Amino acid sequence: TKRYSITVLPGDGIGPETISVAKDVLKLIGSLEGIEFGFQEMPMGGSALDLTGVPLPDETLSAAKQSDAVLLGAIGGYKWDNNPKHLKPETGLLQLREGLKVFANLRPATVLPQLVDSSTLKKEVAEGVDLMVVRELTGGIYFGKPRGIGTNENGEEIGFNTEVYASYEIDRIARVGFETAWKRNKKLCSVDKANVLEASMFWRNRVTAIASEYPDVELSHMYVDNAAMQLVRNPKQFDTILTNNIFGDILSDEASMITGSIGMLPSASLGASGPGLFEPIHGSAPDIAGQDKANPLATILSVAMLLKYGLGEENAAKRIENAVLDTLDKGFRTGDIYSAGNHIQKLVGCKEMGEEVLKSVEGQV
List residues binding ligand IPM (CB under 6 A): 76, 90, 93-94, 249, 281, 283
Among 169, 239, 249, 313, binds Mn ion (CB under 5 A): 249
Residues 85, 159: Cα–Cα separation, whole Å = 13
Tell the smallest beta-carbon distance from residue 262 to Mn ion (Å).
9
Of the candidate spans 101-109, 135-143, 169-177, 286-294, the one that interacts with ligand NAD by CB under 6 A turns out to be 286-294
Site membership for ligand NAD, residue 308 (CB under 6 A): no
Cα–Cα–Cα angle for 111, 117, 122, rounded to 5 degrees: 80
Residues 193-222 that bind ligand NAD (CB under 6 A): none
Active site residue 171: no
Smallest distance from ligand IPM to CB 93, Å: 5
Q: By C-alpha distance, which of 192, 190, 188 is closest to 201? A: 192
The residues near 314 (Cβ < 8 Å, ≥ 6 apart) are: 307, 308
Q: Answer yes or no whether residue 268 interacts with ligand NAD by CB under 6 A.
A: no
* Whether 294 contacts 285, CB under 8 Å: yes
Report the partner that residue 235 touches, choosing among Mn ion, ligand IPM, ligand NAD, none (CB closer than 5 to 8 A by kind). none
Burial class (CB in 10 A: 0-12, 13-18, 19+), 155: exposed
Burial of 223 (0-12, 13-18, 19+ CB in 10 A): middle
Rounded Cα distance between 70 and 86, Å, is 22
Q: Nearer Cβ to ligand NAD, position 222 or 301?
A: 301
**Residue 253 catalytic?**
yes
Sole binder of ligand NAD in the list 90, 136, 169, 313 (CB under 6 A): 90
* Total number of residues that touch ligand NAD (CB under 6 A): 21
Could you tell me how many residues make up the chain? 365
- The reply on whether position 265 binds ligand NAD by CB under 6 A is no
The residue (of 14 and 270) whose beta carbon lies closer to ligand NAD is 14
105 vs 93: CA distance, rounded Å:
14
**At residue 125, what is the residue type?**
V
Give CA–CA dist 8/44, Å, rounded. Answer: 10
- Contacts to ligand NAD from residues 325-364, by CB under 6 A: 336
What's the closest the beta carbon of residue 272 comes to ligand NAD, in angstroms? Answer: 22
- Return the active site residues: 142, 193, 225, 249, 253
Residues that bind ligand NAD (CB under 6 A): 14, 74-77, 90, 93, 262-263, 279, 282-288, 294-295, 298, 336
Interface positions with Mn ion (CB under 5 A): 249
